[in-house]
Amino acid sequence: MDRDYELQTHQAENRHWWYRGRRTVIERVLDALGLPTPARILDAGCGSGRNMIELARRGAVTGVELSHTSVELARARGCGEVIEGSVLDMPFPDDAFDLAVSLDVIEHLEDDLAALRELRRTVAQGGALVVTVPAYQWLWSGHDVINHHHRRYTRASLQRVAEQAGWKLARTTYFNSLLLPVAIVLRVLDRFNTKTTESSLDLWVPPEPLNRLLEQPLALEAAAIGRGGRIPAGLSLLAVFR
């Protein structure tokens, strides 16, 4: 990710409706996992460590992050150990964690299979992996280019690569579904945009009343997912593997 865009992301992620909504979705999914107390948790590709705040409430959390800028921010949060390094080669023994999360990370990696294999090595037998990724290759746009994505996923493509790495699928769901029609229109318009670098509208934090309004559909989806529901389509895909 370009450094300027990375810094914009860090500035937005605490307040932006999408990041707040995704955290709510993740929380409801983790509630249903039956984790040990306290749990040994890995945040693989932890970025600035913002998600480690919630994860640390469930046990001892360790973050791994490649970007030095993000590592410094994550360490400053004081939520757990943060190691500067690649998800493809982590300095942990086998079976070191009860849970790994990798939130919008593996789409950035050329070799997602190798990353999933490394995560499989470090998660203990009976443990879980929670992954979120952007959905649908046909939604590819300048957003993906700016973020240095290698691909977007469907339920089938994510399951296929995870099973090749030794994981067994436990559940999947899409989320952020109500804005999918809007995103389709914006993606079509984006194809006529020739700019390759920019300050992305995706990271604009609206005024708080609008920000909360945009967050509400994700809150409703989180409640449904927490009850075991599955959203049939959406801009993002979540999967739990065992």
Give Cα separations from 228 to 31, 32, 223 (angstroms). 11, 8, 9
Structure-block tokens of residue 104: 């919008």
Return d(Cα 86, Cα 170) in angstroms, integer: 26
Give this prediction's pTM.
0.91
pLDDT at residue 190, as a whole number: 64
**Residue with token string 């950035």:** 108
Per-residue confidence in pLDDT tens, the chain, 242 aa: 566 767 778 788 888 999 999 999 999 999 999 999 999 999 999 999 999 999 999 999 999 999 999 999 999 999 999 999 999 999 999 999 999 999 999 999 999 999 999 999 999 999 999 999 999 999 988 888 888 999 999 999 999 999 999 999 999 999 999 878 877 877 677 666 555 444 455 678 889 999 999 999 999 999 999 999 999 999 999 999 99
Domain count across the chain: 1
Q: What is the CATH number of the domain that holds 113?
A: 3.40.50.150
The predicted structure's pLDDT at residue 185: 79
Q: What's the per-residue H, E or C state across 220-242?
A: HHHHHHHCCCCECCCCEEEEEEC
Torsion region of 221: left, alpha or beta (phi above 0 gives left; psi -120 to 50 gives alpha) = alpha
Q: What is the pLDDT of residue 199?
A: 45
User: Residue 144 has which token pair?
Assistant: 């993906």
State the pLDDT at residue 8. 77
CA distances, 43 to each of 40, 53, 67, 147, 208 (Å) = 10, 11, 14, 19, 29
Could you give phi then psi for residue 199, rounded to 5 degrees?
-85, 115
